[in-house]
Amino acid sequence: MAEQRALRAPIDHEVLLGEIQHLLGALADVETDFAVACEERGWRPSGEGAPSPDRATLEAERQRRREPLIRRLDSLDRACRALQAGNAA
């Protein structure tokens, strides 16, 4: 299993940048989908007012989609810092 992770691990700054751009685009899609869904229902995406069950469901779906993207961005951030530290040595 560690070998599979090693094969998927970014190897240089260009690969890291590409993955980061992809993930940021995916996060933007999640946020845009949420904002559009709120707008279609006449809600403000900022979450003003008491959340209805429908809004809570929509926010839970947003969070479910965001979490793996945020975890991967954190992983790429660590890889980027390690690459930067390796280049400084």
14-57: pLDDT as tens digits: 888 899 999 999 999 999 999 999 889 888 767 666 668 888 89
CB neighbours of residue 58 within 10 Å: 19
Confidence bin at 4 (pLDDT 50/70/90): very low
End-to-end Cα spacing for the chain: 29
Report field, pTM of the whole predicted structure over 0.85: no
pLDDT computed for residue 82 by the predictor: 81
Q: Which of 65, 66, 82, 76 is nearest to 21 (CA)?
A: 76
**pLDDT digits over 51-88, tens only?**
688 888 999 999 999 999 999 999 988 888 887 776 66
